[in-house]
């Protein structure tokens, strides 16, 4: 029983494993052991079910454990199932409900302990009050003949009838071992079976109320019958045990026995009729089972969303209310099948609509996809292994089969194609690639591969999911449109067209006791929309009070709410995330103050908050959540600038002495504002750090523009550029490469040509230009005529930037979905434990032993003239640290899987990461920066270790593999130090000049001064090997390799920067880093000068950079 109690997560699996052990050692045991049969009392279980205990096996077992356990229960109860059951069950015993936040909870507890009344302590967090310890440990003692317990400073009598229950709302709390051992920890999270049963009851009660009523009466009658039979049995046993002498001579005994027999006979007959009727009713009820099963799937889909964002919380009560509304509102039909279909369709869309309004734009497609997959899984139309492969691309360390189309097919894609052979339907796919690469190249080169037919026989033989897998392998940048087509095919177009923001609709769904919550995102401010809506509803002016929360504002907000509850006005609490310490008080107000009997029906509480894990779950679950993000896209951004104050104000728009220059430069400024905001969607190509430029930056710049034009006859371009670029927008920019880009973009918009040259355009294609001088409406008209989806050229980027952006979208979509998935079996039917054990052993066999640092020290001692020896020692030390952690953690995880050591939180996180092919956090903490997936990371690590091993055994290399260094800056310092010491020049006077050589990776000999390096990649451009300068990238070529580069130390005063581009070198494509304790960035390495016949600005706007490693 202790084992079953402990294994509350995997109870069934564990019982089966124990049964097998018992049979193996020939211990007598039942063939199908069950807790319910062994410890359960059917009469008691029936009464629990009547008291709202869910009827599924898991919940009943929990109740039996509570009933039999010595320790008080702590129940994980996010949906309030346990709360409801305890309250009903203990109602007759005068149950007291308390919270740790109640002022007088200790007094209530003391009274209940003395008088033996049950107590329910609800909504506890991850820490329990130390005051409860004596109760949890039942530290009772005798004093003056009475049993007592010490609570705090007072000693009180302890009644044997006292019962204590604890519940928490947290979905996945982490209780420390010292808490867990004091309580019986039970998971009351609703199970699919339990929810299905509840939903079935609701739908039948609505559709066939007389049936459900009759069934409920039968259940109660049946429970009474069972109870009476039990009482009769007990009576008979009592008579038999107390009877003395010959029982046949005991008249009373015989009378009791014969009357009992008659009564038992009657009850049994009644029970038989009841059972028969119940079976008939159940048969009719089961007709509605598909509705309950379908709706249950939907609930578990939305409950997983909380893993993505803490604000995505939805309660069971909210879900059931929607379900009931759907039963009422959906189209009726006498044909059961048709009615079921109407119900399912109506409810699914109702859930989609209601959940969508509370999701950020980035998560709406994700929700549609997991909704679609959940529904298909319910119909057994999705293979779980295929679904996981689509999300991860599989995990493998090396690919033994050579790429048949190296010239166009990336290695990452080929690796995934080969890994598809784990699935029977795709077993021959890689062979077809080898035999017919040209047929697949047609799809690879097509701008819309997701719409194309696959080569025969694959188009007809593959399911839609398998086609998505092929698309992932070939063109991951087109997976998002592919996913949209998949959703449309299975559940309909309406699921990829989310409803627009509708404040009136959200308001009509709310009531006076549930708050309306705006979940904020950068650049979004719902206040103006709310003010306007309040005026429309005649709730403006003094009927609407707003306060921005922060230090000391909580009590003022509480007073506002108390006043508004009585008056029936509205209160807006802005920026709740800034008052985390006050949020528990707000939760209490929502639960205890804003109650129907004390609240004016017109009252509403509006909250705005950025996502915060501290935001109270109960408020989120009971409120109406909304997101209102600024519209995406260049055109929408420009339009918003023109429709907002001050540009939309006619007196301001026409209030300049030089209207021609003002209108042209105003348009230019709004265009600049849109460009800097929209560049964010291109990830690191757009900005290293995604800055939150907002409307206030634009507003101040627009006002300054008019002010300067009114004060000066000539347009002061330099002053305007400085104020707008360096101050208003530049004030947010913390990265020097981003500042360089911001100034470069600014220079395209604030220049004399905008005003003076009518043919001036913002992009090479000429689609974007400053319109001629005209009225305000003329500009709006021009903006509305712009393309909906802009070409990357308008941002100054290469057309390949779209591919990078789309790949990023695909990765974000899949990474977010992986967070919502439970851990379960992976490919080829192996358990996760088997997969990870095999993977860990595979890596361990490939990992070489640590370097012998002492031996290397003797061979390469510290030498004044050769700093590379020191660089080598430092690198080996770092790599030894890393490989020790990798090796030890792999050994530990294999042991933990076997149960030989404890599976710690770190090892469990490592297990989860390895399962989805990601580098464990444990390694990343000791590692050089890398964005590679697990398989590639291990290959890369082994290559680095091999590079240093060759250095040790063959001497200092002629060409250094720049990507192989852990701390690249120390190698560069070593190279300049050698030069400085050789020529007696102070090292801080030196810098590097760069010469790109013709050879790709090798050189005949070392250079006299400086070093040769290879291994760099260029992103956003290519290296033109004919002209030995930078060139434009070819379509779909996102990266190019750079041949060997000669790093020549020179004095700073001698370095020429004419005809070159200063290309930043980064360790990973993420580009952003942090300043480490050495004063170096964790990502940026240096600027490298590359020859170019185009101006610097061209490549700066392109976002061109060099990388030491790629992400795959």
The predicted pLDDT at position 826 comes to: 46
Q: Do 606 and 497 form a contact (C-beta atoms < 8 A)? A: no
Q: Could you tell me how far CA 819 lies from the centroid of its own chain? A: 5
When pLDDT is averaged across residues 1100-1107 and rounded to a whole number, the result is 95
Q: Each residue of 802-830: b (16+ CB within 10 Å) or e?
A: bbbbbbbbbeebbebbbebbeeeebbeee
pLDDT in tens, 655-672: 888 888 999 999 999 999
Residue 581 has pLDDT above 70, yes or no: yes
3-class state of residue 1088 by DSSP = strand
Instruction: Give first-to-last CA distance, the chain, whole Å.
Output: 49
Question: Cβ–Cβ contacts within 10 Å for residue 969, how many?
Answer: 16
Query: Comparing C-alpha atoms, which of 1008, 1005, 1003, 1104 is closest to residue 1048?
Result: 1008
Residue 695's H or E segment, with its range, is helix 695-711
pLDDT in tens, 707-755: 999 999 899 999 999 999 999 999 989 999 999 999 999 999 999 998 8
As given in the structure block, the two tokens for residue 43 are 């009469």
When pLDDT is averaged across residues 423-446 and rounded to a whole number, the result is 91
Lowest mean pLDDT among 267-281, 298-312, 332-346, 348-362: 267-281
3-class state of residue 1027 by DSSP = coil
Lowest mean pLDDT among 177-186, 365-374, 624-633, 1036-1045: 624-633
Looking only at the bridges linking them, the beta strands covering 604-609 and 516-519 are parallel
Residue located via tokens 């049946």: 222
The predicted pLDDT at position 832 comes to: 84
Cis peptide before 544 (omega within 30 of 0): no
Q: Do 972 and 1086 form a contact (C-beta atoms < 8 A)? A: yes
For residues 326 and 203, give the distance between their C-alpha atoms in angstroms, rounded to a whole number. Answer: 10
Q: In what order do the strands lie in the sheet with 1105-1107?
A: 1039-1041, 1017-1019, 1105-1107, 1060-1066, 1084-1091
For residues 274 and 272, give the distance between their C-alpha atoms in angstroms, rounded to a whole number. Answer: 5
pLDDT in tens, 230-253: 787 788 777 777 777 777 777 777
pLDDT in tens, 21-49: 888 888 888 777 777 777 888 778 888 88
Residue 787 pLDDT level (bands cut at 50, 70, 90): confident
The H-assigned helical ranges of 916-998 are 921-924, 934-954, 968-983
**Which burial class, exposed, middle or buried, applies to 585 when counting CB atoms under 10 A from its CB (0-12, 13-18, 19+)?**
middle
The predicted pLDDT at position 829 comes to: 58
Q: What are residue 1090's DSSP bridge partners?
A: 1061
Residue 785 has pLDDT above 80, yes or no: yes
Residue 1102 pLDDT level (bands cut at 50, 70, 90): very high
As given in the structure block, the two tokens for residue 1035 are 């379509």
Lowest mean pLDDT among 464-473, 848-857, 901-910: 901-910
The predicted pLDDT at position 825 comes to: 46
**Which burial class, exposed, middle or buried, applies to 530 when counting CB atoms under 10 A from its CB (0-12, 13-18, 19+)?**
buried
Contacts of 528 (CB under 8 A, 6+ apart): none
Percent of the chain at pLDDT exceeding 90: 54
The predicted pLDDT at position 108 comes to: 93
Q: Do 64 and 87 form a contact (C-beta atoms < 8 A)? A: no
For residues 626 and 503, give the distance between their C-alpha atoms in angstroms, rounded to a whole number. Answer: 8
When pLDDT is averaged across residues 802-821 and rounded to a whole number, the result is 90
Contacts of 184 (CB under 8 A, 6+ apart): 5, 65, 66, 69, 71, 72, 73, 74
Query: Comparing C-alpha atoms, which of 1094, 1000, 1033, 1107 is closest to residue 1064?
Result: 1107
For residues 325 and 205, give the distance between their C-alpha atoms in angstroms, rounded to a whole number. Answer: 13
The predicted pLDDT at position 957 comes to: 94
For residues 1108 and 968, give the distance between their C-alpha atoms in angstroms, rounded to a whole number. Answer: 10
For residues 99 and 965, give the distance between their C-alpha atoms in angstroms, rounded to a whole number. Answer: 56
Q: Do 328 and 206 form a contact (C-beta atoms < 8 A)? A: yes
Residue 761 has pLDDT above 70, yes or no: yes
The predicted pLDDT at position 18 comes to: 80
Q: Do 1003 and 1012 form a contact (C-beta atoms < 8 A)? A: yes
Residue 7 has pLDDT above 60, yes or no: no
Query: Comparing C-alpha atoms, which of 466, 467, 462, 437 is closest to residue 452?
Result: 467
The predicted pLDDT at position 692 comes to: 84
pLDDT in tens, 924-983: 999 999 999 998 999 999 999 999 999 999 999 999 999 999 999 999 999 999 999 999
Contacts of 180 (CB under 8 A, 6+ apart): none
3-class state of residue 126 by DSSP = coil
pLDDT in tens, 514-561: 899 999 887 777 888 899 899 989 998 889 999 999 888 999 999 999
Contacts of 8 (CB under 8 A, 6+ apart): 62, 185, 186, 187
Q: Do 118 and 165 form a contact (C-beta atoms < 8 A)? A: yes
Please report the beta strands in 520-644, taking only residues with DSSP state E, as ranges in sequence order: 544-548, 570-574, 604-609, 624-627
pLDDT in tens, 593-602: 888 888 999 9
Distances (CA, A) of 969 to 928, 1073, 1104: 12, 14, 21
When pLDDT is averaged across residues 416-439 and rounded to a whole number, the result is 91
Residue 254 has pLDDT above 90, yes or no: no
The rounded mean pLDDT for the chain is 89
3-class state of residue 24 by DSSP = helix
């Amino acid at each position: 029983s202790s084992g079953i109690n402990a294994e509350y997560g995997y109870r069934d699996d564990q019982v089966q494993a124990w049964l097998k052990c018992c049979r193996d050692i020939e211990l007598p045991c039942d063939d199908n052991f069950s807790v319910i049969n062994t410890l359960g009392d059917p009469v008691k279980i029936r009464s629990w079910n009547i008291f709202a205990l869910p009827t599924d096996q898991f919940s009943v077992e929990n109740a039996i454990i509570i009933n039999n356990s010595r320790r008080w229960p702590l129940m994980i109860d996010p949906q309030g199932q346990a709360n409801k059951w305890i309250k009903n069950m203990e109602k007759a015993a005068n149950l007291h409900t308390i919270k740790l936040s109640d002022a007088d909870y200790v007094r209530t507890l003391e009274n209940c302990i003395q008088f033996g009344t049950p107590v329910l302590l609800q909504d506890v967090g991850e820490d329990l009050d130390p005051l409860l310890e004596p109760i949890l440990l039942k530290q009772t003692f005798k004093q003056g003949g009475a049993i007592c317990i010490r609570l705090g400073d007072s000693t009180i009598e302890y009644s044997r009838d006292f019962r204590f229950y604890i519940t928490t709302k947290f979905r996945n709390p982490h209780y420390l071992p010292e808490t867990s051992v004091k309580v019986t920890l039970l998971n009351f999270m609703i199970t699919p079976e339990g929810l299905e049963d509840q939903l079935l009851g609701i739908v039948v009660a609505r559709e066939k109320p007389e049936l459900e009523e009759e069934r409920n009466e039968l259940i109660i009658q049946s429970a009474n019958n069972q109870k009476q039979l039990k009482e009769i049995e007990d009576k008979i046993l009592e008579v038999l045990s107390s009877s003395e002498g010959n029982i046949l001579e005991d008249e009373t005994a015989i009378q009791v026995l014969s009357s009992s027999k008659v009564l038992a006979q009657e009850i049994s007959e009644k029970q038989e009729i009841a059972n028969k009727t119940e079976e008939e009713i159940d048969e009719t009820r089961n007709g509605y089972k598909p509705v309950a099963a379908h709706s249950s799937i939907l609930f578990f889909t939305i409950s997983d969303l909380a893993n993505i964002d803490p604000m995505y919380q939805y309660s069971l009560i909210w879900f059931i209310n929607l379900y009931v509304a759907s039963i009422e509102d959906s189209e009726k039909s006498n044909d059961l099948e048709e009615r079921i279909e109407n119900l399912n369709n109506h409810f699914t869309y109702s859930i989609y609509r209601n959940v969508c309004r509370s999701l950020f734009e980035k998560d709406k497609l994700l929700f549609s996809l997991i909704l679609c997959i959940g529904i298909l899984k319910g119909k057994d139309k999705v293979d779980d292994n295929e679904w996981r492969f689509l999300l991860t691309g599989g995990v493998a360390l090396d690919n033994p089969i050579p790429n048949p189309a190296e010239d166009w097919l990336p290695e990452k894609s080929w690796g995934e194609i080969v890994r598809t052979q784990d699935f029977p339907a795709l077993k021959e796919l890689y062979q077809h690639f080898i035999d017919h690469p040209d047929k697949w190249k047609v799809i690879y080169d097509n701008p819309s591969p997701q719409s194309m037919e696959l080569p025969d026989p694959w188009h007809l033989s593959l399911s839609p999911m398998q086609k998505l897998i092929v698309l992932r392998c070939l063109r991951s940048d087109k997976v998002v449109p592919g996913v949209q087509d998949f959703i449309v095919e299975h559940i309909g177009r309406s699921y990829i067209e989310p409803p627009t923001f509708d404040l009136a609709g959200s308001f009509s769904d709310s009531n006076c006791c549930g708050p309306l919550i705006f979940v904020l995102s950068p650049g979004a401010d719902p206040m103006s929309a709310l003010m306007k809506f309040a005026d429309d509803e005649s709730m403006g002016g003094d009927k609407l009070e707003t306060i921005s929360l922060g230090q000391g504002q909580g009590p003022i907000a509480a007073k506002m709410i108390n006043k508004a509850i009585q008056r029936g006005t509205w209160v807006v609490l802005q920026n709740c995330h800034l008052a985390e310490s006050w949020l528990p008080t707000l939760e209490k107000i929502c639960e205890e103050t804003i109650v129907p009997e004390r609240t004016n029906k017109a009252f509403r509480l509006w909250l705005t908050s950025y996502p915060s894990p501290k935001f109270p779950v109960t408020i989120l679950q009971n409120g109406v959540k909304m997101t209102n993000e600024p519209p995406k896209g260049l055109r929408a951004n420009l339009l918003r600038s023109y429709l907002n104050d001050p540009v939309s104000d006619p007196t301001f728009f026409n209030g300049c002495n030089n209207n021609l220059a003002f209108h042209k430069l105003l348009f230019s400024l709004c265009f600049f504002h849109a460009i800097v905001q929209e560049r964010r969607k291109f990830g690191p190509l757009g900005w290293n750090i995604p800055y939150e430029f907002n409307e206030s930056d634009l507003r101040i710049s627009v006002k300054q523009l008019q002010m300067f034009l009114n004060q000066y006859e000539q347009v002061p371009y330099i002053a305007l550029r400085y104020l707008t670029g360096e101050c208003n927008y530049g004030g947010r920019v913390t990265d020097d490469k981003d500042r360089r880009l911001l100034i470069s973009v600014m220079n395209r918009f604030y220049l004399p040509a905008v005003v003076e040259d009518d043919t001036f355009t913002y992009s090479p294609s000429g689609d974007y230009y400053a319109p001629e001088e005209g009225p305000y409406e003329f500009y709006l008209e021009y903006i509305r005529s712009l393309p909906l989806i802009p070409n990357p050229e308008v941002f100054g980027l290469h057309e390949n930037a779209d591919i990078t952006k789309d790949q990023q979208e695909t990765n974000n979509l899949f990474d977010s979905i992986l967070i919502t998935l439970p851990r379960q079996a992976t490919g080829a039917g192996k358990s996760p434990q088997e997969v990870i054990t095999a993977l860990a052993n595979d890596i361990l066999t490939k990992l070489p032993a640590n370097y012998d640092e002492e031996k290397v020290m003797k061979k390469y001692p510290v030498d004044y003239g050769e700093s590379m020896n020191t660089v080598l020692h430092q690198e080996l030390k770092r790599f030894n640290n890393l490989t020790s952690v990798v090796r030890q953690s792999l050994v530990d995880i294999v042991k933990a899987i076997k149960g030989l050591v404890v599976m710690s939180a770190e090892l469990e996180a490592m297990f989860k990461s390895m399962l989805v092919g990601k580098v464990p956090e444990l390694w990343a903490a000791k590692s050089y920066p890398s964005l590679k997936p697990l398989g590639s990371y291990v290959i890369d690590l082994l290559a680095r270790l091999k590079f240093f091993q060759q250095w040790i055994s063959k001497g200092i290399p002629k060409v250094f593999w720049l990507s192989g260094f852990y701390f690249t800056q120390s190698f560069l310092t070593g190279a300049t130090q050698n030069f400085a010491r050789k020529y007696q020049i102070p090292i801080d006077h030196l810098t590097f000049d760069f010469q790109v050589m013709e050879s790709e990776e090798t050189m005949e000999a070392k250079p006299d001064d400086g070093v040769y390096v290879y291994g760099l990649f260029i992103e956003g451009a290519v290296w033109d090997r004919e002209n030995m300068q930078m060139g434009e990238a070819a379509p779909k070529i996102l990266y190019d390799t750079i041949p060997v580069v000669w790093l020549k130390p020179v004095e700073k005063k001698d370095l020429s920067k004419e005809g070159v581009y200063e290309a930043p070198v980064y360790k990973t494509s993420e580009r952003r880093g942090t300043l480490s304790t050495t004063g170096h960035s964790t990502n940026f390495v240096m600027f490298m000068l590359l020859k170019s016949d185009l101006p610097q600005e061209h490549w700066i706007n392109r976002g061109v950079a060099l990388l030491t490693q790629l992400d795959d």
